[in-house]
């Protein structure tokens, strides 16, 4: 009888309850309804997962929320704000969840944020009518232990309307960062040069060329570290401390954090944002919920938007047979890769014969959904291009477009309406609000109705739960709520690029975007549109995805591998070749492939995860709550740190990569406990008294001791390559079961260090590991004692 390892997861929250719990920023009634004072989507955080168990009142979770103050009078939307586009990704990587507050609505009540770690600002102007009130607010925040990071303009030199602020009040603010403004400004910087600049400076771009003007900041508190000191000529008396961190947070002078190239519309970091925020918010003691890794390997997922489904391929010899692009993608890029899951999201309007579907387009969907590696998903019913158009919908708004929809014209003959539906027809212009306008827009039909439609098309046991946003991928709050109401998850948007054309981590978006009380989950990679000038030329361009994959994986693992494209990639020979190159490259990588909906759930879990410290201060032991589908934690600067299994529960495994320790949690344990201890060597797998997972291609759960060996449930795609660490070397018998019957058996040998590598082939196992298997490993020939 298996023994568990010793000592040894969304309903809408009412506004009032969410405010009381600190999940919504307090504000005007309009804000509580998901709007700011100007009627725009309110800058509020998404609710935590409703299923998360309530923490005991006596135990305070490790704070991991950062409150971003934005001025939506200036930046208009959170989606395009400086903090969201540039700072939130590094903050997410450090384990921090960002919520937003619009200072146009006044200053927030910090008591509404029970797990607040810090505040971040990045103003371009002077947003406060009463600077004194803001300076006092910052002081009280710091006095309560909340750290503050200031980038760009501090917002305290002028009041709204241009009224000057007394220097004594200005310096009261700067003193909190160990600085004093000497009321001077160096506007001619040709004689200025760094007197001191540490490794935090020159991250993506060195300080070269004409430098921005800067204020003269003198350091008055030696508790603060100066990362950049500028000097005019050779006079130390002119030294100005432009980047500092210390016990209350950090400050980066405007122009010295990020560089903007107006000619090429490119942004690059001068400052190392990971190092700056690490110091400003002291994140080394914080376990990091990680969305990039599963079973010790970099996570992989793929999704296809249905645009171009009915296009006739130009690829020989299939073009002569008038094969649809959707079928071409299946033939060339899905069927040959059964080990790489993909979520396929058609548009109902392209399939349903009462709209613009044909027998061929419908048959293409059924053939795709029948493949074991394909997850049925939805690209909506009518493919909205401009989601904001439907926020306050009435049919009269669409009247001017009713003669210009994507319905096939008789003149098209048998072309299956090539390039009429989806983004192919109006990409970058969006001449229509949606592809199909025959009937009035119905949000419930668009979201829940489409998911139900595709579930009916799929084989029994498969359910469509993922909505892949269409058009401008900018859903409004009610659209996101409709996904949740239908029991689904969402993805798309973000346009992640990190390559020669986008040479900065700024090209990588954060995990998601708060939209009112909901949250949009971004894709982890960009689709082929950004590589092909919005599908107008360079149809081979998507082959350059490999550069983003590489740069987003090393030296820091910032994103999973995501191959995201449209069905019109099956139309051109060049685009299809580029796609196959990407899939071939992915197949050669060490990955843990999952369905795209699984990634979306993991990403949602990032925001709900809470850590309760156990034991005394500095003991490095936490209970993990509310993580949902997220099953990896990361600890940075941890080459000589390992899991202490004797004081942990619900831990599957551990692996050191890039100087970090990745800890795999057991999905079968709702609230695992993770404890850390020092280990003497960083060049070998840490010893442990129990077996643990080092890495594997599959997902694992329910790890149990089983005599002198262990058993574990596994599921995944492709052959099950895996590496375990076991307490004793020797030969092990391996049995793989499904429903209690053995489907494969073999042996594997653990080396002298206890490292046991094996691969379970799926050939001959019905459904492979897509349906869960139970693995049993037992010592043979006296192994493990």
pLDDT in tens, 131-159: 999 999 999 999 999 999 999 999 999 99
Q: Which helix (H) or strand (E) holds 773?
A: strand 773-780
Task: Provide the sign of the torsion angle of the four alpha carbons 260, 265, 266, 267, taken in this order.
Answer: positive
At 430 the pLDDT is: 60
At 322 the pLDDT is: 97
pLDDT in tens, 215-267: 999 999 999 999 999 999 999 999 999 999 999 999 999 999 999 988 888 99
Average model confidence (pLDDT) for the chain? 90
Tell me the mean pLDDT in the region 442-457.
98
At residue 99, the 3 state secondary structure works out as: strand
Burial class (CB in 10 A: 0-12, 13-18, 19+), 680: exposed
pLDDT in tens, 363-376: 999 999 999 999 99
At 707 the pLDDT is: 80
DSSP 438: S
| Residues 85, 495: Cα–Cα separation, whole Å | 11
- The number of helices, as runs of H, and strands, as runs of E, in the chain is 18, 41
At 782 the pLDDT is: 57
pLDDT in tens, 172-199: 999 999 999 999 999 999 999 999 999 9
| Residues 232, 743: Cα–Cα separation, whole Å | 75
| Residues 284, 44: Cα–Cα separation, whole Å | 27
Does residue 43 surpass a pLDDT of 50? no
Q: What share of the chain is helix, strand, coil (3-state, %, to 5)?
A: 25, 30, 45
Q: What is the pTM of this model?
A: 0.90
| Residues 246, 239: Cα–Cα separation, whole Å | 19
At 115 the pLDDT is: 93
| Residues 758, 719: Cα–Cα separation, whole Å | 10
Does residue 33 surpass a pLDDT of 60? no
All structural domains of the chain: 28-49+63-286 (3.40.50), 294-384+457-602 (3.20.110.20), 609-679 (no CATH), 690-785 (2.60.40)
Does residue 25 surpass a pLDDT of 90? no
């Amino acid at each position: 009888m298996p023994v568990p390892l010793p000592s040894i997861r969304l309903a809408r929250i009412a506004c009032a309850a969410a405010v009381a719990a600190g999940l919504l920023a307090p504000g005007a009634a309009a804000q509580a309804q998901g709007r700011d004072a100007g009627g725009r989507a309110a800058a509020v955080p998404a609710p935590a997962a409703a299923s998360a168990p309530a923490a005991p009142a006596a135990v305070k979770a490790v704070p991991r929320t950062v409150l971003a103050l934005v001025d939506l009078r200036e930046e208009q939307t959170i989606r395009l704000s400086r903090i969201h586009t540039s700072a939130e990704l590094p903050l997410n990587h450090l384990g921090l969840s960002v919520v937003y507050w619009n200072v146009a609505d006044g200053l927030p009540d910090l008591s509404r944020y029970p797990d607040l770690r810090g505040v971040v600002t990045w103003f371009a102007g002077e947003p406060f009518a009463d600077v004194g009130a803001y300076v006092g607010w910052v002081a009280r925040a710091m006095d309560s232990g909340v750290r503050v990071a200031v980038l760009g303009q501090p917002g305290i030199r002028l009041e709204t309307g241009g009224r000057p602020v007394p220097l004594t009040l200005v310096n009261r603010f700067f003193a909190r960062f160990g600085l004093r403004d000497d009321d001077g400004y160096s506007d001619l910087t040709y004689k200025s040069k760094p007197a001191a600049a540490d490794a935090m400076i020159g991250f993506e771009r060195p300080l070269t060329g004409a430098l921005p003007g800067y204020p003269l900041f003198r350091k008055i508190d030696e508790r603060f570290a100066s990362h950049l000191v500028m000097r005019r000529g050779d006079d130390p008396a002119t030294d100005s401390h432009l980047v500092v961190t210390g016990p209350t947070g950090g400050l980066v002078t405007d122009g010295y954090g990020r560089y903007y190239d107006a000619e090429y519309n490119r942004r690059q970091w001068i400052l190392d944002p990971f190092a700056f925020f690490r110091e400003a918010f002291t994140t080394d003691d914080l376990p990091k919920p990680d969305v990039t890794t599963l079973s010790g390997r970099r996570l992989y997922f793929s999704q296809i938007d249905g645009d171009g489904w009915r296009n006739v391929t130009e690829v020989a010899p299939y073009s002569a047979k008038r094969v649809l692009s959707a079928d071409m993608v299946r033939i060339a890029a899905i069927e040959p890769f059964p080990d790489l899951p993909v979520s396929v999201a058609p548009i109902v309007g392209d399939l349903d014969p009462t709209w613009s579907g044909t027998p061929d387009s419908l048959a293409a969907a059924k053939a795709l959904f029948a493949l074991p590696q394909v997850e049925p998903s939805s690209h909506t019913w009518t493919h909205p291009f401009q989601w904001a158009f439907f926020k306050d919908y009435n049919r009269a708004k669409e009247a001017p477009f009713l003669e210009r929809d994507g319905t096939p014209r008789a003149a098209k003959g048998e072309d299956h309406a090539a390039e009429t539906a989806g983004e192919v027809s109006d990409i970058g212009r969006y001449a229509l609000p949606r592809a199909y306008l025959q009937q009035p827009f119905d949000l419930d039909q668009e979201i829940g109705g489409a998911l139900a439609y595709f579930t009916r098309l799929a084989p029994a046991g498969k359910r469509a739960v993922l909505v892949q946003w269409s058009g401008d991928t900018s859903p409004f709050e009610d659209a996101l709520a409709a996904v949740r109401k239908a029991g689904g998850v969402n993805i798309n948007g973000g346009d992640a690029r990190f390559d020669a054309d986008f040479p900065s981590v700024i090209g990588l978006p954060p995990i998601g975007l708060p939209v009112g009380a909901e949250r949009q989950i971004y894709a982890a990679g960009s689709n082929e549109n950004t590589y092909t000038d919005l599908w107008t030329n360079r149809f081979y361009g998507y082959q350059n995805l490999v550069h983003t994959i590489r740069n987003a994986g090393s030296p820091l693992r910032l994103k999973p591998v995501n191959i995201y494209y449209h069905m019109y990639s099956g139309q051109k020979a060049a685009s299809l070749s580029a796609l196959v190159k990407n899939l071939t490259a992915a197949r050669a990588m060490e990955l843990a492939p999952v369905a795209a909906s699984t990634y979306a759930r993991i990403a949602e879990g990032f925001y709900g995860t809470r850590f309760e410290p156990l034991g005394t201060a500095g003991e490095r032991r936490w209970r993990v709550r509310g993580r949902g589908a997220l099953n990896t934690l990361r600890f940075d600067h941890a080459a000589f740190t390992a899991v202490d299994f004797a004081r942990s529960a619900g831990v599957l495994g551990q692996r050191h990569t890039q100087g970090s320790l990745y800890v795999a949690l057991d999905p079968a344990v709702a609230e695992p406990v993770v404890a850390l201890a020092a280990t003497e060597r960083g060049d070998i797998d840490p010893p442990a008294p129990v077996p643990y997972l080092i890495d594997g291609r599959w997902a694992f759960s329910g790890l149990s001791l089983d005599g002198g060996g262990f058993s574990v449930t596994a599921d995944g795609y492709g052959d099950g390559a895996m590496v375990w660490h076991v307490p004793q070397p020797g030969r092990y018998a391996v049995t793989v079961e499904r429903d209690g019957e053995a489907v494969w058996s073999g042996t594997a040998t653990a080396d002298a260090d206890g490292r046991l590598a094996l691969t379970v082939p799926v050939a001959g196992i019905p459904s492979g590991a897509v349906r869960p298997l139970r693995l049993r490993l037992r010592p043979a020939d006296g192994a493990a004692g």
